[in-house]
A and B are shown apart, each in its own frame.
Chain A
């Protein structure tokens, strides 16, 4: 489902000096697989996930979704590819503060052109499944971090994307909430999605099809 080859990313320090973060990453994730990438803080996990999810351009290398090379597409085509293929779960949730929980979930469908009564039913069912249905009309600042991440998870899976990318999804959560989110991600993999989870805590690796370490810009 997801393939990356030779991904290179180098940032520039404020003094102009290079910060090589990724030095040539190869990765393949098949449908139904849960791949966990562990690495110390600052090792480049977020950078890698951003490249895989087309949120940022690599300096070199390629990204394929289901056989199509997507990182070379135009800006809007990349946006559409994200909407069609990828669901994101971020460490800091990234809900829109001006929208209610339900509206945040439905946002994923808006850009894919799928907004409608069935989508709304599905959003409500997902919120119910994650135990936050009664929070549907609350705004993100009014609910706890654990609840926000549950809402964000619903948003990520609303369109049933074949690829889920989770960047330290439990980094800001207590253990109970962390277990719910990790278990939900595993469930998506069992249901056929390709799932990539990056983190620095080994618990994330539980039930993974493959576990990699990101170190010195390379996967091991």
Chain B
């Protein structure tokens, strides 16, 4: 038996290689689009899990809470709106202010959170910690790093980082979520407020002049608002707008569609890359199988002379196509995985991940290539049996 297998592998080596290349291309391109899909979906999931509120007007906050100051009185007013379950004051600061707002989703951010309030986001009650722990109430000068943030700086639990001239100990590293928090460094809100003051000359001037009676608790760039069970988040966001002056409450579904339209380019890129992958991979698989059939025109003529019916030949070709596309598919998936893992190993040094080999992609690619291989086999067989056996033998000679 092993001898027959060795022989089969030998005679099908080129066909299997051809299919492997097609499937590898399909899987690699598919994994890139899966990566982008996960990123967009992650952001969408996040914005639909909370109502993001910022002070009205321009400020130096960033991300979802860009806007003016949200003082403590306003926070309290929001908490009193019926339907509100919790309000968590936050400070979001771009780590590198020169970064354009254009790529705000992938920007590195310092996120200061008020740990006395549980995280209100319904879809992210806790952020998944890969190593160490998340922040606790009472923490000072400690940080939890997002996966990409940590990877790009080689941070682990116990590492130290400097933010606005102050040293922080990394107490936790998050799991890779393939969405915005990957590029966050999360600190207690008091620490974030100090960084903000250190960073913003205008704010320092205002504080020093005493023109406004600002206290530390007033220094919030925004707040995450959670709703009570059964409450409609969009309606609640509108209610907050009506009842609390001077705030900009994002309506979750509107923010979601805003996010979707701002990522529309990426979404079409995803569709394009995916379609390209399927076209290239699919054509390569179909072409390889059909060529393998046409190459053996003479054999088919001989088999039909020996009495093989269309159905018998079809079954033979299908069985071979199945074996060949499956083994080619598995090799192709392995090649794509090896390629993706090594590219990501290199890209990971700057915190990037380019590929996501999701199970649905791998299974889908294998099923797709097997189906396509089978279709090509059936098509080629139908073409071949339309010739008379004599003609097939003549042409295949």
Contact = CB atoms under 8 A, between A and B. Distances in A.
Interface of A: 50, 53, 55-57, 75-76, 79-80, 82-84, 88, 92, 94, 96, 98, 107-108, 110-112, 155
Nearest to B307: A83
A84 B390 CA distance: 18
Contacts of B298: 94
Contacts of A56: 388-391
B390 A50 contact: yes
B299 A96 contact: yes
Contacts of B32: none
B311 A76 contact: yes
A88 to B, nearest CB: 6
Q: Which 7 A-B pairs have the closest CB atoms?
A: A83-B307, A55-B390, A76-B309, A56-B390, A111-B307, A50-B390, A111-B308
Given A82-B304, A82-B305, 4 more contacts: A57-B388, A88-B305, A111-B309, A155-B306
A83 B311 contact: no
B312 A111 contact: yes
B54 to A, nearest CB: 72
Nearest to B8: A98
Given A76-B310, A76-B311, A79-B308, A107 B303 contact: yes
Nearest to A137: B3
Contacts of B305: 53, 55, 82, 88, 94
A54 B308 CA distance: 13
Given A94-B302, A96-B299, A79 B390 contact: no
A94 B305 CA distance: 10
A169 to B, nearest CB: 15
A53 B299 CA distance: 17
A22 B391 CA distance: 17
Interface of B: 7, 11, 298-299, 301-312, 385, 388-391, 393, 397
Contacts of B385: 75
A80 B309 contact: yes
Contacts of A75: 309-310, 385
A66 to B, nearest CB: 16
B303 A94 contact: no
Contacts of B388: 50, 55-57
A111 B306 contact: yes
Contacts of A112: 307
A79 B302 contact: no
Contacts, number: 61
Contacts of B390: 50, 55-56
Given A50-B390, A75-B385, A108 B307 contact: yes
Contacts of B308: 79, 83, 110-111
Nearest to B310: A76
B307 A79 contact: yes
B9 to A, nearest CB: 13
A58 to B, nearest CB: 11
B302 A80 contact: no
Contact of B306 (A76, A82, A92, A98): A82
27 contacts: A50-B388, A55-B305, A55-B388, A55-B389, A55-B390, A56-B388, A56-B389, A56-B391, A75-B385, A76-B311, A79-B307, A79-B309, A82-B304, A82-B307, A92-B397, A94-B302, A96-B303, A98-B7, A98-B299, A107-B306, A108-B306, A108-B307, A110-B308, A111-B303, A111-B306, A111-B307, A111-B312
A187 B310 CA distance: 33
A96 B302 contact: yes
Contacts of B397: 92
Nearest to A84: B307
Contacts of B391: 56
Contacts of B303: 96, 107, 111
B304 A79 contact: yes
A49 B302 CA distance: 15
A142 to B, nearest CB: 13
A107 to B, nearest CB: 6
Given A55-B388, A75-B385, A94 B393 contact: yes
A47 to B, nearest CB: 8
Pick the most buried of A55, A57, A75, A88: most chain B CB atoms within 10 A of its CB: A55
A183 B15 CA distance: 43
Contacts of A98: 7, 11, 299
Contacts of B11: 98
Contacts of B301: 55
Contacts of B299: 96, 98
B204 to A, nearest CB: 83
A154 to B, nearest CB: 13
A80 B393 contact: no
Contacts of A57: 388
A133 to B, nearest CB: 20
A143 to B, nearest CB: 17
A107 B312 CA distance: 12
